[in-house]
Amino acid sequence: MSIRHAPIILLRNCKSLNPFSLYKITHNIITHNTHIHLPFAIAPIHQSNEPTLVVTLRMLNRLCKSGETKAALLMLKDLEKNDTFKANVTHYNIIINTLCKERRVNEAVEVYGEMMAKGVVPDVWTYNVLIKGLCGLRLLDEGRGLFGEMVEKGVAPNVVTFNILVHSFCKDGKVGEARDWFDLMWEFGCVADVVSYNILVNGYCKVKRVDEALSLFVMMSEKKVVPDIVTYTTLINGLCQVGRVEDALTRFGEIRGCGLVPDVIAYSTLIDFLFKNGKFDEAVALVKTMEEGNVVPNIDLYNILIDGMCKAGKVDVGEDIFRKLPASGLKPGFYTYNILINGYCKNKMITEALSLLKEMCVKRISPTIVTYNTLINGLCHVGRLKDALLLFDDIHKRDLVPTVVTFSTLIDSLFKHEKFDEALGLLRTMEGVGLVPNIVLWNILIDGMCKSGKVDVGHEIFRGLSSRGLRPNIRTYNVMMNGLFKNGKLTDANQLLQEMMIAGCMPDAYTFNIIIQGFLRWNETTMAVQFLRRMLDAGFSADIHTSINLVNLLATKELDSDSKEVLKTFFQHTIDTTVT
């Protein structure tokens, strides 16, 4: 037997080897026996007479699919070296795609450079994959740049190219630009398909512009693009998000009439929404309908069910579903554990939550940082700050990295325990490891500052937000307003209210309660009553503190008849809603 035939015999006998081992062996033989050509060595793996091109493509693809990127890269290098067999654009595409999926976009771009240096001309697939990879890292400008480059090089974009771009801009919250890309495709001879519409419909829904989503739905029928189950699920989700449940249910009912069948995700969307809005019975009824329709629940639906049970205070039912998963051939992963742990925490059953953490470790399911964040939050919530800090120390031992959420939770709790110095110390630690506070943490900090008697520092932080590229949200305004009122800075508080309205941030129930209590505290009865009226008009109700203050007001103060009238309406309204 000549050395030339060695690989053939070797590989014929090792069908059970995985692609990596096969290629490793092939690769080793080739590197040590330079006279053997790569295709010659690989072909026998498949014991077929297929053309070498197809064989090598399959080989590469199998390596990538089984997570053996290293071996795949090795193989590509060999293909590049080979002079009797030239690497084809698809070889490169497979590699570039894999690297992009692994978020190794830098390397993908390098391979792109290499292929051009080798004179291999990139095609539309190459660009689509790279644009998607870049946009996935939120490098939208680079993605846009690559689009320009492909056009310049004469590679025509297709509908997929535009879908990737529309989707990327939607994900970044830039629906306007997404719409521009959507409209642009016709100028390149492309026509939007059902996927294009679904992406944009979802984009509009995610920023709560549901009416524009609905008008796209109309546009679809004008353009004779038939909606599919994804279109319906997207719309239903959007309608739910803006509280239009009735419309959502109507759409759900339309599905079958279009010759479509609701799938698990369609059901999941509605079921989850029903649970989140306290419509427990309706949610359970829909699960039954689903099962009767022979739609098989998957792990995601079970996660939603477990979460829903926990949110309804029925953790034991949640645990029951959890324990019965293996019977349905499903095994809970860290995600499911996190949900159940969260359920126990929200129901203040910390012992059970902690024992689930132990169980994960025993079953070799690695907890994630979310697991720890959930437990730390749960411990803080029941006042066990010390234990929360102990758990915080465990994070490093598990090779996990704390996130801004981890720090925020602890800092918030430290502030609530009036441990101001420790809170600020932890903030410094956080910044020391290169984490940047987000708006949620700034809200906590502003609140903490105000409550430790440093309103001015809080106000300063607030003023500095825009220079950090952050926009105050409703909570930011609320904590700031609360701080200003509590410290008697009524003028500033008033000004802040104007500011938030101009910024398009509408006061919510919290805002009104803060304002009313704030004015009452400083005996500004007229203002308080004025805002009470505005609150009632806006459809919000008073919280318990505000209500008590208003009762006291009625009992102790001389009031003009107008004010009395407002208070009367308020109490009547409260009684009505309490009785029903």
Partner DNA sequence: CTAGGGTTAG
Q: What is the C-alpha separation between 162 and 128, in angstroms, rounded?
A: 9
Q: Is 447 helix (H, G, I), strand (E, B) or coil?
A: helix
Q: What is the C-alpha separation between 297 and 226, in angstroms, rounded?
A: 27
* Minimum gap (Å) between residue 457 Cβ and DNA: 27
- Maximum distance among all alpha carbons in the chain? 112
Nearest to DNA of 29, 264 (CB atom) = 264
* Minimum gap (Å) between residue 266 Cβ and DNA: 4
* Minimum gap (Å) between residue 92 Cβ and DNA: 8
* Minimum gap (Å) between residue 482 Cβ and DNA: 22
User: For the stretch 556-580, what's the b/e string if a residue is b when 16 or more beta carbons lie within 10 angstroms of its beta carbon?
Assistant: eeebeeebeebbeebeeeeeeeeee
| Interface contacts to DNA, rule CB under 7 A | 54, 57-58, 61, 90, 93-94, 97, 124-125, 128-129, 132, 158-161, 163-164, 167, 193-196, 198-199, 202, 228-234, 237, 263-266, 268-269, 272, 300-301, 303-304, 307, 334-335, 338-339, 342, 368-370, 373-374, 377, 403, 405-406
Taking alpha carbons only, the member of 419, 468, 421 closest to residue 442 is: 468
Nearest to DNA of 42, 480 (CB atom) = 42
Nearest to DNA of 37, 101 (CB atom) = 101
DSSP state of 72: H
Q: What is the C-alpha separation between 21 and 40, in angstroms, rounded?
A: 17
Q: What is the C-alpha separation between 532 and 521, in angstroms, rounded?
A: 14
Nearest to DNA of 309, 516 (CB atom) = 309
Nearest to DNA of 195, 554 (CB atom) = 195
> From its phi and psi, is residue 85 left (phi > 0), alpha (psi between -120 and 50) or beta?
beta
* Minimum gap (Å) between residue 580 Cβ and DNA: 29
Q: What is the C-alpha separation between 338 and 365, in angstroms, rounded?
A: 11
Nearest to DNA of 128, 513 (CB atom) = 128
Q: What are phi and psi of 130, to 5 degrees?
A: -70, -40
Nearest to DNA of 248, 535 (CB atom) = 248
Nearest to DNA of 410, 493 (CB atom) = 410
Q: Residue written as tokens 């992009």?
A: 100
Q: What is the C-alpha separation between 59 and 90, in angstroms, rounded?
A: 12
Nearest to DNA of 335, 571 (CB atom) = 335
Nearest to DNA of 59, 423 (CB atom) = 59
For 125-160, the three-class secondary structure string (H helix, E strand, C coil) is: HHHHHHHHHHHHCCCHHHHHHHHHHHHHCCCCCCHH
Q: What is the C-alpha separation between 473 and 352, in angstroms, rounded?
A: 35
Nearest to DNA of 68, 272 (CB atom) = 272
Cα distances (Å, whole numbers) of residue 527 to 512, 522, 530, 534:
12, 10, 5, 11
Q: Which long-range contacts (CB under 8 A, 24 or more apart) does 106-110 make?
A: 108/133
* Minimum gap (Å) between residue 101 Cβ and DNA: 8
* Minimum gap (Å) between residue 532 Cβ and DNA: 32
* Minimum gap (Å) between residue 363 Cβ and DNA: 16
Nearest to DNA of 263, 447 (CB atom) = 263
Q: Residue written as tokens 């203040």?
A: 348
* Minimum gap (Å) between residue 300 Cβ and DNA: 4
* Minimum gap (Å) between residue 227 Cβ and DNA: 8
Taking alpha carbons only, the member of 470, 346, 440, 489 closest to residue 448 is: 440
Taking alpha carbons only, the member of 447, 459, 465 closest to residue 496 is: 459
DSSP state of 522: T
* Minimum gap (Å) between residue 562 Cβ and DNA: 44
492 in Cβ contact with 481 (< 8 Å): no
* Minimum gap (Å) between residue 318 Cβ and DNA: 12
Q: What is the C-alpha separation between 300 and 278, in angstroms, rounded?
A: 20
Q: Residue written as tokens 């999941």?
A: 268
